[in-house]
Amino acid sequence: MALLSKKDTNLILDPLADNNPITIQVLGICSALAITAELKASVVMAISVMFVLGVGNVVISLLRNVIPSKIRIIVQLIVVAALVIIVDQVLKAFAYELSKTLAVFVGLIITNCIIMGRFEAFALANGPWRSFLDGIGNSLGYGVILVIVGFFRELLGSGTLFGYPVLGDPIVKTGLYATGYENNGFMIIPPAALIVVGIIIWVQRSKNPALVEEN
């Protein structure tokens, strides 16, 4: 038996494109807008969410038969909160500058709709292995969009990638800046993320018309 059956593979691949949490389900938009001005922050955010969602899904899945359904939201919150605190502490310990940039948004992973959504929709009804794959798949789908948005925003807004200048130095005018190019201040501000996400949604749906909703 292969490690991943066809059904299991779909659990990971579906959320990457045709069932993407951000562009199709339109969940987790707030953090996608807030922290994607830099690529590094986007990647760290994606990894954090992957950890929380992957582990959280497994925990909820294991507990799914003992959680009374009346208080399941509270139990879910406790699990997420515990995991988020771990992520927050790790970031503060090993990447303090970065945790400054991400600021409150690490804490706000708790309220990320994707996480509660996957707990409710998937982990409560499936076994731990499948739940784990589902968590990884969805957080990958989330992360892909974050990285794409972060890539364009950092490249066009600051002329850097992961903090390294790739277009030259804007102050002494080298590289592309020597030709008169300037950074686009609009890409730094959050509304630009909304527009970039919108363009991704637009491109995706025109490639695959089956995704377009009926009015």
Partner 1 sequence: MHELKIKYQGKKMAPAFNAFHTFLFSPNDTTHGRGTHVKGADDLKRTMNTVIMALVPVLLFSMFNAGYQHYSAINGFPENFSLMEHFLTWDNFWIGIVKVLPLVVVSYGVGLLVEFIFAVIKGHEVEEGYLVTGMLVPLIVPVDTPLWMLSVAVVFGVVIGKEVFGGTGMNILNPALTIRAFLFFAYPTWMSGDKVWVHGARERAEQIADGLQADAISGETILGYLAQNKGAEMSSFYDTWDMFWGFVPGSVGETSAFLILLGGLFLVFSKIASWRIMVSAVLGSLVMGLIFNQVVDMGIVGETSTFYGLMGFEFWKHLLVGGLAFGIVYMATDPVTGSQTNRGKWIYGFLIGFISVMIRVFNPAYPEGVFLAILLMNVFAPTIDHYVVRGNIKRRMKRLKNAVILPKDSDSKKEELKAETV
For partner 1, the binding residues (CB under 8 A) are: 180-182, 184-187, 189, 195, 198, 202
Compute the CA torsion angle 154, 159, 160, 161 (nearest 10 deg). Answer: 50
Nearest approach, Cβ of 156 to partner 1 (angstroms)? 9
Nearest approach, Cβ of 184 to partner 1 (angstroms)? 4
Q: Check if the beta carbon of residue 96 is closer than 8 Å to that of residue 88.
A: no
What DSSP character marks residue 213?
P
Which residue's entry shows tokens 């994606």? Answer: 46
Given the complex with partner 1, which of 127 and 198 has the nearer CB atom? 198
Q: Check if the beta carbon of residue 55 is closer than 8 Å to that of residue 66.
A: no
Given the complex with partner 1, which of 19 and 184 has the nearer CB atom? 184
Nearest approach, Cβ of 180 to partner 1 (angstroms)? 6
What sign has the CA pseudo-torsion 39, 42, 48, 52?
A: negative
Nearest approach, Cβ of 198 to partner 1 (angstroms)? 8
